[in-house]
Each structure stands twice: as structure tokens, then as C-alpha cells.
Amino acid sequence: MDDENSNYKVEEMNGVILPNEERDFKILFCPKHAEPYYEFVDFIIENVPIRSMLNPPIALKEFAE
């Protein structure tokens, strides 16, 4: 894994998604020890025009303005 502090790995890490394209991602959980893990994964998509989103949250609309 690239990040030694994370138990998660995402494949494909980055790339360009074209309009109307469907893309599969693998989210792998690779724990170092057998114990309960209380973690989460953030999936961030950048550079998406707000007008192209269907029903974006109001807070996101306000942030984009």
C-alpha cells in the first residue's frame, strides 16, 4: 500500500472519467492485524461542473457560487 497509515487501497487511484462513462473501482481492505477497525474511506471526485450534477446538495450549490 502507498499509505502506511491506511488499511485501505483503492484501484484505480486516479484518472479521467468522461461524461456518461461508467467506471468500476476496487476498494480493498487490507488490515495488518485481526482486530476491530473503525475507519472510513473518502472518495473524492474533482473538477465536476455543478450544473452537470443531478440534485446536488444545497450546501454544495452555495459553495460553488
Q: Is the pLDDT of residue 3 over 60?
A: no
How large is the average pLDDT for residues 53-59?
86
How large is the average pLDDT for residues 55-61?
86
pLDDT in tens, 13-54: 777 878 788 888 888 888 888 888 777 767 777 787 888 888
Q: 41 Cβ partners below 8 Å, 6+ apart?
A: 8, 10, 27
Cα separation, 49 vs 52, whole angstroms? 5
Q: 23 Cβ partners below 8 Å, 6+ apart?
A: 12, 15, 17
pLDDT score for 1: 45
Domain range enclosing 25? 1-65
Owner of C-alpha cell 487490507 = 30
- The number of distinct structural domains making up the chain is 1
| Angle, CA of 53, 24 and 20, to the nearest 5° | 35
